[in-house]
A and B are shown apart, each in its own frame.
Chain A
Amino acid sequence: EVQLVESGGALVQPGGSLRLSCAASGFTFSSHEMKWVRQAPGKGLEWVSFVGSSVNNIHYADSVKGRFTVSRDNAKNSLYLHMNSLRVDDTAVYYCARVGGYIYGENWGYNANWGQGTLVTVSS
C-alpha cells in the first residue's frame, strides 16, 4: 500500500524558513516522479513543485520560484521542500503526491496518491 507522510509544518514568521519532509513507502520511490501541492485555508488546490525521478527534471510554480527548493533522497525514500523568504500568502496545508501516468515530453502526470498534509502558518 502506498503511504506518504508529510511532516515539518509549523508556525513561522514572515521572512522565515522551513523544511518539509515527505516519507514514502509501499512503492519504488526512486522510480517515481513526485509533486508538492498546497491548499490555503478554505481555498482551492495549487501545484507548487515537480521533481522527476531524475533530479535534473525539476519545476516550480511562479509563486514560489526562487524561494522554494525541492529535493529528494532516494536512499531514505524521502522528498523535501525547502522554503525560504516565507510570506503570509504561503500559509497552507502542503501535500506531497506520487505522480501517476507521467510521460516525459507529453504530460506532467496526475496526482495518483496523496499524503495527509502538513500545515504551514506564516504569521507575525
Chain B
Amino acid sequence: DIQMTQSPSTLSASVGDRVTITCRASQSINNWLAWYQQKPGKAPKVLIYRASTLESGVPSRFSGSGSGTEFTLTISGLQPDDFATYYCQHYYTQPTFGQGTKVEIK
C-alpha cells in the first residue's frame, strides 16, 4: 500500500495568513491526489483533485501544487471559515488518506 505522510498535524494561524500543508507519498502517485476539508461533525468536502485542479465552487484562495511524491495545499489569505481539518488522499491505487492537519486560530 502507498502511505501518505501529511505535515504538520496541527497548525496555528491568524486570519489573513498564508498557510501551507504538505503531503508526501511513499511512492509516485502520478499526481492522482486530492485535498479535502472537514469541519467538526460534518462530512469532508473536496477542494482540489489531480493535485492542482480546483473543484467547482471552491474559493480561489485554495491552491494545490506538487508532483511525483511531494504535494502541497496552500491557503492564500486564511478566512474564518477555513479553520478546519484538511486531509490529502491519493487515488492512484487503493486509496489512502494522510493523517490530517488541523488548522487552528492563533
A101 interface contact, C-beta 8 A: yes
Q: Please report the number of residue pairs spanning A and B whose Cβ atoms sit closer than 8 angstroms.
A: 63
Cβ contacts under 8 Å, A109 to chain B: 91
Partner of A101, one of B42, B45, B49: B49
B97 adjacent to A46 (CB under 8 Å): yes
- A44-B87, A45-B89, A101-B49 known; A108-B43 Cβ under 8 A: no
- Name the interface size band of chain B: 20 to 34
- With a 10 A CB-CB cut-off, give which of A46, A100, A111 has the most chain B CB atoms: A111
The distance in angstroms between the C-alpha atoms of A99 and B46, with both chains bound, is 11
Q: What are the residues of chain B within 8 A of A35 when measuring CB–CB?
A: 95
The tally of residues in A whose CB lies under 8 Å from a CB in B reads: 22
Binding site for A on B (CB under 8 A): 30, 32, 34, 36, 38, 42-46, 49-50, 55, 87, 89, 91-100
Known: A111-B34, A111-B46. 12 other contacts (CB 8 A): A44-B100, A45-B36, A46-B97, A47-B95, A100-B49, A101-B91, A107-B30, A107-B92, A108-B92, A109-B91, A110-B91, A112-B55
> Which residues of A pack against B, CB within 8 Å?
35, 44-47, 50, 59, 61, 95, 100-101, 106-112, 114-117
